[in-house]
């Protein structure tokens, strides 16, 4: 069964000026410069030769340093690719440290580096990702709601509404603490009467199950 590639990592070795022609024609350490991120298959980077798709022999790199995977709900949905840091020394996205064991949604052009002193840099490219920077304005939604900032990154849509990516407490990070890339949360934008919204929110807040998405907060009158 042929694998469905939904995105890929491009090894640029820390040099962003590499041309596309150079990247496709060369290899890095015996590996192709482009590593496919496919549906239903985990892409693993690290030192473990038996487990990893790309092996980096450096003491600063963990056995399984970070993993990538892709999700496509149906043919009408946009593919979503994720990265998760599993390491002791850290994985960086666009120069900012990722929080360990937290999943981050990738977007075109994101740069992933394995530890800050290992010269392996990967540029992510998504296939078929639809981006609409004006969707917040078109929907008439507030970008900032309490401690949350809603982004234009769509991860789902349908008759129920839209699901976008949001960040929490973006204004509370200080230089006195380790700077992590903000964790991703899903925010569901729906149009319901206030009484129906409150009822659904109270039910969701009480749910606590491994197979159910955790509900953190609800807000009305944001449209």
pLDDT at 81: 92
pLDDT at 22: 38
pLDDT at 130: 62
**What CATH topology corresponds to 5-126?**
Tumour Suppressor Smad4 (2.60.200)
pLDDT at 19: 44
Please answer whether residues 21 and 134 qualify as being in contact, where contact means their C-beta atoms are separated by less than 8 angstroms: no
Instruction: Mark the binding-site residues, compressed into ranges.
Output: 188
**pTM of this prediction?**
0.70
**What CATH topology corresponds to 135-206?**
Phosphorylase Kinase; domain 1 (3.30.200)
pLDDT at 190: 73
pLDDT at 134: 76
Question: How far is Cα 208 from Cα 215, in angstroms, rounded to an integer?
Answer: 9
pLDDT at 8: 95
Which residues of the chain fall below pLDDT 50? Answer: 14-27, 173-176, 209-212, 223
pLDDT at 164: 78
pLDDT at 144: 82
Instruction: For CATH 3.30.200, list the domain ranges present in the chain.
Output: 135-206
Instruction: Mark the binding-site residues for ATP, compressed into ranges.
Output: 188
Instruction: For CATH 2.60.200.20, list the domain ranges present in the chain.
Output: 5-126
pLDDT at 210: 44
Nearest 5°: CA angle at 53, between 52 and 56?
Answer: 65
């Amino acid at each position: 069964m042929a694998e469905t590639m939904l995105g890929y990592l491009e090894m640029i070795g820390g040099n962003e000026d590499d041309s596309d022609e150079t990247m496709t024609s060369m290899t890095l350490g015996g590996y192709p410069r482009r590593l496919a991120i496919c549906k239903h298959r985990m892409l693993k980077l690290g030192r473990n030769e038996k487990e990893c798709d790309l092996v980096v022999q450096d003491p600063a790199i963990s056995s399984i340093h970070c993993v990538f995977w892709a999700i496509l709900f149906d043919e009408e949905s946009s593919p979503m690719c994720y990265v998760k840091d599993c390491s002791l020394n850290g994985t960086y996205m666009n120069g900012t440290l990722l929080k360990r064991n937290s999943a981050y949604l990738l977007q075109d052009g994101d740069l992933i580096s394995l530890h800050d002193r290992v010269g392996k840099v990967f540029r992510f490219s998504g296939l078929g990702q639809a981006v609409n920077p004006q969707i917040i304005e078109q929907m008439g939604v507030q970008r900032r709601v309490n401690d949350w900032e809603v982004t234009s990154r769509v991860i789902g849509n349908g008759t129920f509404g839209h699901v976008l990516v949001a960040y929490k407490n973006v204004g509370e990070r200080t230089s006195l603490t380790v700077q992590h890339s903000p964790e991703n949360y899903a925010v569901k934008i729906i149009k319901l009467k206030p009484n129906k919204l409150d009822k659904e929110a109270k039910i969701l807040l009480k749910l606590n199950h491994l197979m159910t998405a955790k509900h953190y907060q609800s807000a009305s009158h944001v449209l």
